[in-house]
């Protein structure tokens, strides 16, 4: 069976690819009533590929050009991968493997430093060099118990936006207040278009609250009520906060007070908070907050190890030498010395041996070298080097993007 992979450009091909992905996902309905021209606004030109067998489109993948923040604040070019799907009647024949390898070669040729994705299953992407680089937590707050400590600040003003107005304003608020936290990604226009379409296709209420004076907003929350069938008499009225963009303390406090203070609402469910979110510390009764789940967010693939290691900052003392192994992109198979003043290629014998997925796991500071060594994902010729590497790769803020794409 020969698989041909090519870039999809025509509107018909892009819609076919989108629907193929949705068929592969089983639980997503096909796109319907898409206005002419709309699909091209939701995908970056030239970055959707299709896999064809005997002329039939049987698999697809796409990517969006973005930037990702590394520890220390530098941003690097980043391919945000999404919509990987293979028709159920063509799975387990190597088609996804062909698509992912094709993408990785393309990213390397474009000079992209990292690729990231969100995974539907945790068992698919490690074989291609991706690993979990950031996690998020879903958190439920019982509003009746959620009184804040007296010294918690007030935050700034918060107001609701009309849904139509919001889609113009939110991208500007995000781009104008991009956080320096590792793992932060740009949110390109094509994602806002897709998000708008998804949100507008949902029935039921949804709201956008923004923080800050008009024209100088610094954060926002998108939220909606769930389980509304018995809303009028329910004693568990719940809102889910789907997007909580609060990059400053003022924005965080203003939006938090607004959400916890909503009349009628018994429970606020934050879908995706950073794992180091300060919320329990703000409450007089920290048990008003319950972590409902912790799950993997960013799966990261280092495409250019030298650039990625050089762009990152290393706060610790000492030095460590790492041998990186990358069977798919052989340019990454090299040895690097890492110290407080940076990373450089070296011929010295390594203290630690790591495969490219292991490097992806530690790059943003979302995992420790020690954990990877316990799991057998890092081999330490010198066990003391693990502690040195952990001090060098330590971060002040847990990596977090706060966005699914
Ligand atoms: C995930 C998916 C794209 C894999 O496509 P595929 O063409 O069957 O993958 P391949 O044949 O190239 O498989 C490559 C390897 O991954 C393994 N694999 C693929 N999908 C897997 C899955 N869902 N769970 C566990 N292993 C999987 C295969 O067993 C194979 O292993 P091997 O190399 O040891 O033989 C396909 O199953 C699919 O479309 N699933 C539903 C949509 C989805 O979840 N997409 C991902 C969105 S993030």
72: left (phi over 0), alpha (psi -120 to 50) or beta: left
What is the token pair recorded at 254? Answer: 């203003």
On the question of pLDDT at 360 being above 90, the answer is yes
What is the token pair recorded at 257? Answer: 């007070």
Res. 397 pLDDT band, cuts 50 70 90: very high
Indicate whether residue 210 lines ligand 1 (CB < 6 A): no
Res. 163 pLDDT band, cuts 50 70 90: confident
Indicate whether residue 372 lines ligand 1 (CB < 6 A): no
Mind listing the pLDDT tens digit for each residue in 27-47?
999 998 889 999 999 999 999
Nearest in space to 270 (alpha carbons), one of 236, 245, 233, 248: 245
Mind listing the pLDDT tens digit for each residue in 99-117?
999 999 999 999 999 999 9
Residue nearest to atom 4 of ligand 1 (CA): 96
How many Cβ atoms are within 10 Å of 341's Cβ, its own excluded? Answer: 9
Mind listing the pLDDT tens digit for each residue in 133-161?
999 999 999 999 999 999 999 999 999 99
Q: How far is the CA of 301 from the centre of ligand 1 (A)?
A: 17
Q: For ligand 1, what atom is nearest to the CA of residue 119?
A: 48
Indicate whether residue 124 lines ligand 1 (CB < 6 A): yes
DSSP alpha helix (H) spans, 111-236: 163-176, 189-201
- Percent of the chain past pLDDT 90, that is, above it, reads 95
Q: How far is CA 270 from CA 145, 183, 223, 258, in A?
A: 16, 19, 9, 14
Indicate whether residue 93 lines ligand 1 (CB < 6 A): yes
pLDDT at position 1 is 76
Q: How far is the CA of 229 from the centre of ligand 1 (A)?
A: 38
Mind listing the pLDDT tens digit for each residue in 176-205?
999 999 999 999 999 999 999 989 888 899
Res. 292 pLDDT band, cuts 50 70 90: very high
pLDDT at position 164 is 83
Indicate whether residue 95 lines ligand 1 (CB < 6 A): yes
Handedness of CA 6, 12, 14, 19 (dihedral sign): negative
Per-residue three-class SS string for 365-394? CCCCHHHHHHCCCEEECCCHHHHHHHHHCC
Mind listing the pLDDT tens digit for each residue in 46-91?
999 999 999 999 999 999 999 999 999 999 999 999 999 999 999 9
**Dihedral, CA of residue 272, residue 275, residue 279 and residue 283, to nearest 10:** 120
Residue nearest to atom 18 of ligand 1 (CA): 124
On the question of pLDDT at 227 being above 90, the answer is yes
pLDDT at position 200 is 87
């Amino acid at each position: 069976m020969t698989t041909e992979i090519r870039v999809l450009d025509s509107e018909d091909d892009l819609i076919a690819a989108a629907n193929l992905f949705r068929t592969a996902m089983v639980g997503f309905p096909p796109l319907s009533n898409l206005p002419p021209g709309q699909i091209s606004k939701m995908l970056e030109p030239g970055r959707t590929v299709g896999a064809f067998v005997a002329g039939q489109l049987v698999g697809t993948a796409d990517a969006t050009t973005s930037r990702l923040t590394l520890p220390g604040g530098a941003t690097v070019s980043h391919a945000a991968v999404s919509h990987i799907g293979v028709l159920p009647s063509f799975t387990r024949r190597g088609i996804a493997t062909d698509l992912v390898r094709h993408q990785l070669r393309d990213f390397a040729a474009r000079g992209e430093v990292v690729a990231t994705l969100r995974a539907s299953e945790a068992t698919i992407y490690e074989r291609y060099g991706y690993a979990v680089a950031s996690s998020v937590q879903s958190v439920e707050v019982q509003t009746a118990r959620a009184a804040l400590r007296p010294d918690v600040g007030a935050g700034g003003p918060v107001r609701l936006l009309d849904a139509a107005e919001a889609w113009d304003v939110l991208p500007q608020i995000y781009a104008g207040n991009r956080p320096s936290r590792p793992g932060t990604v740009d949110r390109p226009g094509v994602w806002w278009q897709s998000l708008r379409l998804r949100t507008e296709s949902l029935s039921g209420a949804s709201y956008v609250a923004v923080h800050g004076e008009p024209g100088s907003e610094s954060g926002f929350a998108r939220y909606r009520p769930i389980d509304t069938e018995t809303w009028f008499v329910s004693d568990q009225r719940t809102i889910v906060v789907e997007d909580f963009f609060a990059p400053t303390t003022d924005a965080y406090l203003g939006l938090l007070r607004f959400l916890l203070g909503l009349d009628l609402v018994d429970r606020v469910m934050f879908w995706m908070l950073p794992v180091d979110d300060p919320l329990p510390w703000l409450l007089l009764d920290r048990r008003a907050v319950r972590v409902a789940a912790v799950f993997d967010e960013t799966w990261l693939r280092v495409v250019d190890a030298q650039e990625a290691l050089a762009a990152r900052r290393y706060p610790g003392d000492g030095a460590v030498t790492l041998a990186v192994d990358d069977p798919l992109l052989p340019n990454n198979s090299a040895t690097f010395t890492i110290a407080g003043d940076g990373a450089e290629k070296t011929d010295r014998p390594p203290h630690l041996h790591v495969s490219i997925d292991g490097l992806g796991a530690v790059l943003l500071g979302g995992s420790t070298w020690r954990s990877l060594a316990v799991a057998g994902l890092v081999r330490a010729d010198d066990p003391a080097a693990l502690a040195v590497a952990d001090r060098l790769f330590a971060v002040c803020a847990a990596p977090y993007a706060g966005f699914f794409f």
